[in-house]
Chain A
Amino acid sequence: MEKIKESPLFWPVKYKAGVMEVLNETLIPHKMHYVKVRSTKAAVGVIREMKTRAFGQFLVVLYTFLLELRKIKGVRAKDFKAQQKVLARIKEVASSLNKSRPTFPFSEVTGIVVRWAIMAIDAGLDIKSFVNQNIEGYLESIRIKRLERVGKIAELISDGDSILTHCNVSGELAMAASICKKQKKDVHFFVTETRPYFQGAKLTCWEMKKMGAEVTLVADNAIATLMADKTVNKVIVGSDRSCANGDFANKIGTYQIAVVAKYFNVPFYVLTQPSDKIRTGKDIPIEIRKQDELLKYQGKKVFRGRVNAFYPGFDVVPHHLITRPVPIRVTENE
């Protein structure tokens, strides 16, 4: 595979010798700073405070198991009691991570690690090294599959395309843009600002620029005008959770983009991680975040007077609104 220039948001979490470094996405575009994480509690903190999101959360989950396993010393494969203790600790870590935020499928990811731990005990293997090796192998498979998908996204983009995207697609779209540039395709990206956290304005515009893409920022309310005027001819978004019937959840605002795209016959593509753990979009729990996150910005009030705000973090998009999903499939046994 040809080497692809990576966006810092493609793999926003690093792990080395018991310390996880998480790119604090809330500081971008002003500063690139990595938060050091050494415990499960701190890991849950960076997720809840949205210092990382989307694929970053997935990495935090798996690296948290690595750093917690590293703290456990000298467990022999034949010491059943000690092995059970490690399993109990893994379950404890999984339980804390599962409670961090409701919409992202944390329990699906932590469930894989718990199953590996049980498999190791059943097979009489050293639980710690078995789980470690599996996590590392799993992450490597995911990296390869994601890089392959970047290539597929680039294939989806044609010369002359004008693409609307929403929120942030964890590096993949920006990297595809970089490939398109190398291939001399003339492509333009319109990025929604993505209130209230501005992930589009802050993260996507920043990484698109870094990767040399042509990018224009638009307000969230401009998407129908862009489609009615034929200023954009494709929509590409990411997803946080997929269902067995093809419905998916993504950042708030995605549903109305999909509905409007259908009305104007604009193809709507979504990057998915297929799962059959949840039946339909109606079953996805949607996180309702604090109203102050909408009523204030960086501690400063935006609206004055007695007022409520409502901030659902995610939308569900029914499968019939999707033109084509661009999936990655990695099984836990890879």
Chain B
Amino acid sequence: MNKKKITNEDLKAMRQSITILYGVFKKTFYDILKKSSPKEVFLLEGRPSLDSAKVSLRELLKRKITPTIISDNMAGFLFYKGMVKEVYLAYQEADRKGAVCDCGALILAILSKDHNIPVKCFASERKTKFLGTTKDIVYFNGIKVAPKGVPAYVPLIEWVSKNYIAEIN
């Protein structure tokens, strides 16, 4: 594991250089990404399964790209600081009106629209259910985090309108 801590100075050097990936893409996508030689690749965790980060991490490491993981609530910080260059979303279904992506994609789409950052969609490797269960987010990494008896609402997919998307591949 690379233990180098990103400092505030590093952030300045990363201006408009970060490529954000969200979702579980088909393997061919990672080859396309590799060819584009991205400077910095950031992965969102993708709660509750964390597959967005885990699968992309594995595929990127195979292609000798060391990504940086952030929690799903940290993307806004990167946009605010002007660090984001482009956003890639994995879609499960798409038509001319938009795409069905993993829950969380709409936040990235709106942030991108707000900061004039292009959003590009590529096909997902998987299809998920519409909703998860309380158990999916009450536990993290096998450890219970929320108190007993608290229900959860766990949407797993969401609709991203074409208005937010620069290209669907």
Are B67 and A193 in contact, CB atoms less than 8 angstroms apart? no
A218-B154, A221-B46, A303-B57 known; A263-B110 Cβ under 8 A? yes
B141 contact set on A, CB distance < 8 A: 297-298, 300, 302
A72 adjacent to chain B (CB < 8 Å): no
B44 adjacent to chain A (CB < 8 Å): yes
A286-B8, A305-B57 known; A295-B1 Cβ under 8 A? yes
Select from chain A the residue with minimum beta-carbon distance to B44: A221
A315 adjacent to chain B (CB < 8 Å): yes
Are B107 and A306 in contact, CB atoms less than 8 angstroms apart? no
Instruction: List residues of B (43-92) whose CB comes within 8 Å of A's CBs.
Output: 44-48, 50, 53-54, 57-58, 61, 66-77, 79-80
B70 contact set on A, CB distance < 8 A: 294, 309-311
B3 adjacent to chain A (CB < 8 Å): yes
A194 contact set on B, CB distance < 8 A: 73
Looking at the assembled complex, report how far the CB atom of A53 sits from the nearest CB atom of chain B, in whole angstroms.
Answer: 16
Are B74 and A306 in contact, CB atoms less than 8 angstroms apart? no
A69 adjacent to chain B (CB < 8 Å): no
Instruction: List residues of A (300-334) whose CB comes within 8 Å of B's CBs.
Output: 300, 302-303, 305-312, 315-316
B125 adjacent to chain A (CB < 8 Å): no
B24 adjacent to chain A (CB < 8 Å): no
Please measure, in the bound complex, the distance between the C-alpha atom of A190 and the C-alpha atom of B42, giving whole angstroms: 28
B13 contact set on A, CB distance < 8 A: none
Are B69 and A308 in contact, CB atoms less than 8 angstroms apart? yes
Select from chain B the residue with minimum beta-carbon distance to A262: B114
**1/0 per position for B103-115, CB-CB distance to A under 8 A?**
1101100110010
Are A305 and B61 in contact, CB atoms less than 8 angstroms apart? yes
Are B47 and A219 in contact, CB atoms less than 8 angstroms apart? yes
Are B1 and A302 in contact, CB atoms less than 8 angstroms apart? no
Please measure, in the bound complex, the distance between the C-alpha atom of A252 and the C-alpha atom of B134, giving whole angstroms: 24
A255-B80, A259-B111, A260-B107 known; A217-B73 Cβ under 8 A? no
A222 adjacent to chain B (CB < 8 Å): yes
Are B153 and A216 in contact, CB atoms less than 8 angstroms apart? yes
B54 contact set on A, CB distance < 8 A: 303
Q: Which of B25-33, B116-124, B143-151 faces chain A?
A: B143-151
A149 adjacent to chain B (CB < 8 Å): no
**1/0 per position for A197-225, CB-CB distance to B under 8 A?**
01001100110010000011111111111
B168 adjacent to chain A (CB < 8 Å): no
A82 adjacent to chain B (CB < 8 Å): no
B45 contact set on A, CB distance < 8 A: 195
Instruction: List residues of A (27-57) whose CB comes within 8 Å of B's CBs.
Output: 29
Please measure, in the bound complex, the distance between the C-alpha atom of A137 and the C-alpha atom of B34, giving whole angstroms: 62
B69 contact set on A, CB distance < 8 A: 294-295, 303, 307-310
Select from chain B the residue with minimum beta-carbon distance to A196: B71
Select from chain A the residue with minimum beta-carbon distance to B147: A29
A291 contact set on B, CB distance < 8 A: 3, 5-6
A224, A226, A310: the one contacting B74 at CB < 8 Å is A310
Are A228 and B137 in contact, CB atoms less than 8 angstroms apart? no
Looking at the assembled complex, report how far the CB atom of B143 sits from the nearest CB atom of chain A, in whole angstroms.
Answer: 6
Are B5 and A290 in contact, CB atoms less than 8 angstroms apart? yes
Are A307 and B57 in contact, CB atoms less than 8 angstroms apart? yes
B102 contact set on A, CB distance < 8 A: 221
Looking at the assembled complex, report how far the CB atom of A312 sits from the nearest CB atom of chain B, in whole angstroms.
Answer: 5
Are A209 and B149 in contact, CB atoms less than 8 angstroms apart? yes
Select from chain B the residue with minimum beta-carbon distance to A200: B146
Please measure, in the bound complex, the distance between the C-alpha atom of A259 and the C-alpha atom of B108, giving whole angstroms: 11
Q: Which 6 A-B residue pairings sit nearest by Cβ, starting from the closest?
A: A253-B73, A221-B104, A256-B76, A29-B147, A224-B106, A195-B71
A and B contact pairs by CB, cutoff 8 A, 17 listed: A29-B146, A193-B47, A194-B73, A198-B146, A216-B152, A218-B154, A219-B103, A221-B72, A225-B155, A286-B8, A305-B57, A305-B58, A307-B57, A308-B67, A309-B70, A312-B74, A316-B80
Q: Using a CB–CB distance below 8 Å, which chain B residues touch chain A?
A: 1-8, 42, 44-48, 50, 53-54, 57-58, 61, 66-77, 79-80, 102-104, 106-107, 110-111, 114, 134, 137-138, 140-143, 145-155, 158-159
